[in-house]
Structure 1
Amino acid sequence: MTARTVLLLLPLLIASGCSSDEAEPPPGDPEVGQAAIREYGCGSCHVIPGIGGADGRTGPSLERIARRVYLAGVLPNTPDDMVRWIREPEAVDPRTAMPNMGVGESDARNITAYLYTLK
């Protein structure tokens, strides 16, 4: 592959949100996160694979959320930003319909760990 080809393809690779499945998993316990998702009632607004009854249609489906480039259309999809969004959505986007559910730091990390299994 020539340098010119790489330069031409680079914007496409960046725009496609390429991610590595070999990246370090976010800190947190996915199983505990799954239980926290049920406890906070996230499935009343979102479709969430692996969570029974999580078939809400108010918010977006969280299917394959780990592969998305952005969260809420504005935050880079990183574990820290996902925790921030889960804990204080209105601080990121004052016009969001997502309520502040009072999710603590530990629960947000565990929820993030679970959501990052959704590839």
Structure 2
Amino acid sequence: MVTASFVGMYYTLQADIEEAKKLPPIEVTRLEYELKEEWNEKMIIQLKERVEMLEQVDDVVFEELNVLGTLMKDGTENDGKLEELNRQLEEIKNQKPKQTIIVKEVEVSKKGRR
């Protein structure tokens, strides 16, 4: 009984595969291409914003290390520079990358629907 079911499924799949081979290849529509390009552009912009934010954090942390090194050598206060750098670091942490949403109205022909 089970073997008969598997044999039946096998022949059904073979028939479906043969039918699919006869169909014309699916073309990528202009809409699909444009949407993919817009998504790629959006992702590149988001990555660029994140890199810029990380560069800012890197600059502030590097400056903090310099201030701490000076404090360790001299044992002196550095005119509130460390507090200012900590404030800048907190501001950068609170920033969120901008997100853009792309909405495009597209007409769909009945041919494109199933």
Question: Which one has the largest radius of gyration?
Answer: 2
**Normalising by the residue count of structure 1, what TM-score does the alignment of the two structures yield?**
0.26
**Normalising by the residue count of structure 2, what TM-score does the alignment of the two structures yield?**
0.26
Question: Which of structures 1 and 2 has the larger relative contact order (alpha carbons within 8 angstroms, sep 6+)?
Answer: 1
Higher helix share: 2
